Structure 1
Amino acid sequence: MPLFRTLLVILSACLGQVAGADPLRIVSEPWAPYVYEDDGEIRGLDYEASSVIFKRLGVEVQWSLMPWKRCLMALESGQADAVLDIFHIQEREARMAFPSEPLSEVEFVLFYARQRPYPFQRMADLQGLKVGVSPGYWYADQAFRTSTLFIREPAPTHEANLGKLVRDRVDLVVNDRRAGLFLIHQMGLGAEVGQHERVISRDRLYLAFRREPRLDGLAGRFSEALRRFKREPAYAELVDRYREPGAGNLR
């Protein structure tokens, strides 16, 4: 058999292990504009980019949105094969295979109610304050993650966090800048909520696969296809669709 045909057969067999009778089960938490549900349809920058990649790889996918802690439990228990928009940290490498190419980059900042614009330039400014956080989320800055200066107040959803902020149940809310601005625009809170300019931490979002023989090599193929897609005009058009809405009014 010629070398080209041999390689083609091997590649088809590898893809067939993933794209067989059972679709790849991917979970994520709604986090607009990266992934969210709109009128019963899943949308979002990272969701749509991933969908393009899997289509090109010939891999059938089944998507489910759920709270973040349930996403991690589903992956751990084998009820899910991959998780969308997760941070790459060393502790996760034993259980998850990460592509080398990230889907998006994020910047965590603090949002405040305009009626209570707590100043924030350094960690000491958070002394005694109550900060709304998302359970299970990894905030890359260790000083913020481990500080005992302020109280962390979890909420079940990002919408709930902003609702608590405008009702004076928390003093500040931490979220990704683009996600926070998108959600504030959706909720019509532009006149009530502003954001601090200082970035608490920066990180990258990945689609991570559960480590098991059936999925071996898929992270690498996904990464290569994503890297190529990012060089195409179609990717630039996708990013433009999910740029920060009304960002100029929220500083």
Structure 2
Amino acid sequence: MKVKMSILFLFLLIFGTYSIFGIVLYTYPQDAIPKYFKLGDDLSGLCNDIIKALNSELSKENIKIEYKSKNPLTISEIFNALEKNEIDIFIGAAYSEDRKDKVQYVKTPLYGLREMFILKKRSSNVIHFSSLTRIGVIGDTVTSKSLPNIFNKSQITAFKNINEALKALDENKIDALFYSSIVLGYILSQNPNKYEKLNLVDEKYYHYVVLSKKVNNYVSQKIEEAIKSFHKKGTIASLINKYKLQDYVLPGNVVEILTVDWKPYEWYDEKEKIWKGFDVDTVTKVFEKLGYKVVFRTLPWERCLDAMKNSAYDGIMSLRINDERKTYLVFPDEPLSTGYDVLFKMKNKNIDISSLENIPSNIICGYSIGYAYGDWFWNAKFKKEPVIDDVTGFELLKNGRIDLFVCNLLVGKSIAKDLGIENDVEYSKIFSEKMIYYVAFSKNFHGTYLSEIFTPELQKFKKSSDYENILKKYGLTLKDLQF
């Protein structure tokens, strides 16, 4: 018995703060509802509930989280305490480049949220940004440092906490308040007739478990395993619903990916109300194996790219790599799929498309805005007309408004079939190199992590019978997508 106790003592001495109960990780609550509420001498709130769930899950490892004090502190005070090893852990903080070398972040996020503006309810439905000249923020937060550049910094007021900021908003000392959707969304849900939000798609980011540098890898790993287990069981999702935050906060295992109709790679089935396509099925299956759930969103392609420049979503598919996109996107090492671009024309058009040199310079060729075509297309001497998407391009082609349209071969054949003109169109030989398509991620902490874990899982999945079955479902084989 003495030998066993000595081993336990040595284990605790190596792995963290120790007591007769095991490893104790001390924390502070934050002065931020609904993450933490002070109820008399007790605490409540979303992150407090997560601590309770973690304690239940980690009890079998003899790890426990305890409050060093129940007096709420600002996020700046909490990070100072972590950096000084005054506390060991904090539940519910955004990643910060300024803090990454001073603390540890558990890479699996707790929940995703967005930046958000709220203002006092107005009688008019039209709100002009130009009228919002005085903006309130919460000082020393990640959100306060990412306020859009359209606002003059001299007109920004930093407040210590949300209560001070709301008071200033109520007293018309500021025009709007800019902060995270978890806090402002909760305030909106509690005061629907008092405040309203601006309908903007702002940057998406995540809250994590943060550890002091002294906490070892063993404890960090057990916490990460617990968070993954919560996502699998729906624990975090249930807590989000408990606090009526489902319109403002998503569980950390939900990956939002932007795409457009690009059949057979990806498209929205209006009848079944689901996204389909061999790229859709592949991405969904790979993320399922990683413990994530994919939610597909759609916008016009140019707006998809603009949204990703603002890190408004987690990822975008299917697209090629180019230097401009690499400035705001992270591309995994493994491509998702391949294809070839060709020129389509109506058979009744007397245009020789057997070679680019044979196409007269007065011929008009349509192309989709924002798509990355090869140099062969841009260097061709014919005229180039931008259109909003591939379907519009084929409709213009059908109606004789343009002479040619450049499109991915598989996509073009699919659109022609859907429009009932598959027997009326023909396409050129392949002038381009093979197009390599990727799912790319936001160039931030979480996007980089998703890219890292996605690559090996996709490589493994492509060697499976499940992948071959997906291709077969859409009338394709591995040979059609040789990499």
Q: TM-score, normalised by structure 2?
A: 0.46
* Alignment counterpart, residue 134 of structure 1, candidates 368, 391, 416: 368
RMSD (CA atoms): 2.7
Alignment check: 8 A CA contact 1:121 1:198 kept:
no
* Mapping 1:1-16, distance limit 5 Å: 9=222, 12=225
Deviation string for 1:165-192 (max 9, x for gaps)? 1211111111011111122222221221
Cα separation, 2, equivalents of 1:6 and 1:125: 68
Q: Which residue of 2 aligns with 1:33?
A: 264
Letter in 1 for 2:363: L
Letter in 1 for 2:342: V
Q: Which residue of 2 aligns with 1:202?
A: 434
Alignment check: 8 A CA contact 2:340 2:430 kept:
no
Cα separation, 2, equivalents of 1:94 and 1:138: 15
TM-aligned CA deviation for residue 63 of structure 1:
1.4
Cα separation, 2, equivalents of 1:105 and 1:90: 19
TM-aligned CA deviation for residue 78 of structure 1:
2.4
Deviation string for 1:85-118 (max 9, x for gaps)? 0111233223211111111101000111011152
Deviation string for 1:54-82 (max 9, x for gaps)? 11111233211121111011111222121
* Alignment counterpart, residue 59 of structure 1, candidates 292, 302, 319: 292
Q: Which residue of 1 aligns with 2:44?
A: none
Q: Which residue of 1 aligns with 2:475?
A: 243
Letter in 2 for 1:121: S
Cα separation, 2, equivalents of 1:240 and 1:212: 35
Letter in 2 for 1:135: I
Deviation string for 1:150-171 (max 9, x for gaps)? 1112222322211111211111
Cα separation, 1, equivalents of 2:219 and 2:462: 30
Q: Which residue of 2 aligns with 1:74?
A: 307
Deviation string for 1:7-65 (max 9, x for gaps)? 9537648969x997242221112111111011221111111100001111112332111
Cα separation, 1, equivalents of 2:373 and 2:475: 23
Q: Which residue of 2 aligns with 1:249?
A: none
Alignment check: 8 A CA contact 2:315 2:447 kept:
no
After superposition, the Cα gap between the structure-2 partners of 1:13 and 1:172, relative to the gap in structure 1 and judged at 3 Å, is farther
Q: TM-score, normalised by structure 1?
A: 0.86
Q: Which runs of 5+ in 2 are unaligned?
A: 1-10, 16-215, 237-250, 477-483
Alignment check: 8 A CA contact 2:264 2:278 kept:
yes
For 1:216, what is the secondary structure of its paired residue?
A: helix
After superposition, the Cα gap between the structure-2 partners of 1:117 and 1:11, relative to the gap in structure 1 and judged at 3 Å, is farther
Q: Which residue of 1 aligns with 2:444?
A: 212
* 1:162 partnered with 2:380: no
Q: How many residues align?
A: 241
For 1:99, what is the secondary structure of its paired residue?
A: coil
Cα separation, 2, equivalents of 1:132 and 1:112: 11
TM-aligned CA deviation for residue 5 of structure 1:
6.4
Q: Which runs of 5+ in 1 are unaligned?
A: 245-251
Q: Which residue of 1 aligns with 2:462?
A: 230
Cα separation, 1, equivalents of 2:408 and 2:332: 22
Q: Report sequence identity in percent.
A: 24
Cα separation, 1, equivalents of 2:352 and 2:340: 19
Q: Which protein has greater RCO, CA pairs closer than 8 Å, 6+ apart?
A: 1
Q: Which residue of 2 aligns with 1:45?
A: 278
Q: Which residue of 2 aligns with 1:248?
A: none
After superposition, the Cα gap between the structure-2 partners of 1:5 and 1:92, relative to the gap in structure 1 and judged at 3 Å, is same
TM-aligned CA deviation for residue 124 of structure 1:
2.3
After superposition, the Cα gap between the structure-2 partners of 1:218 and 1:13, relative to the gap in structure 1 and judged at 3 Å, is farther
Letter in 2 for 1:26: I
Cα separation, 1, equivalents of 2:334 and 2:227: 21
Q: Which residue of 1 aligns with 2:424?
A: 192
Cα separation, 2, equivalents of 1:121 and 1:10: 61
